[in-house]
Structure 1
């Protein structure tokens, strides 16, 4: 993900859907933004984990390992070597 791509993601959005391609970007950075107590933070983390589990149950997976707090989510996960050859 380039710096230009990340500029479109608003602060406070731990899950962002690209309006052009439909891919999802996940971040942990803002998942507990605004928590006033540890109890609030724990609840917010559980809610975020539930959203990630829901994505997985819907057939989504990380396209590649999370890097610098950016994870790209797509159906089926990472492209196989055969898929990348087909795109060329």
Structure 2
């Protein structure tokens, strides 16, 4: 199952739609930017730039975990 850290913005919604349309199994954790959740050590380990959305597929290409941190990269991967 794909894990997604998302925000309630247009970019977050684009990723939700792309994953849904691709028929992929995913679950979202919403990131509260106003509380600085995008600056925690756990989040920065996923994306050092502190930007959301971020996706982690534990079963990425070759069975290796894959983390993507840009809206269009995630949409392309889902397609």
Regarding TM over 0.5, the answer is no
TM-score (structure 1 length as normaliser): 0.27
TM-score (structure 2 length as normaliser): 0.29
Greater relative contact order structure (CA < 8 Å, 6+ sep) = 2
Considering fraction of residues, name the structure with more strand.
Answer: 2
Considering fraction of residues, name the structure with more helix.
Answer: 2
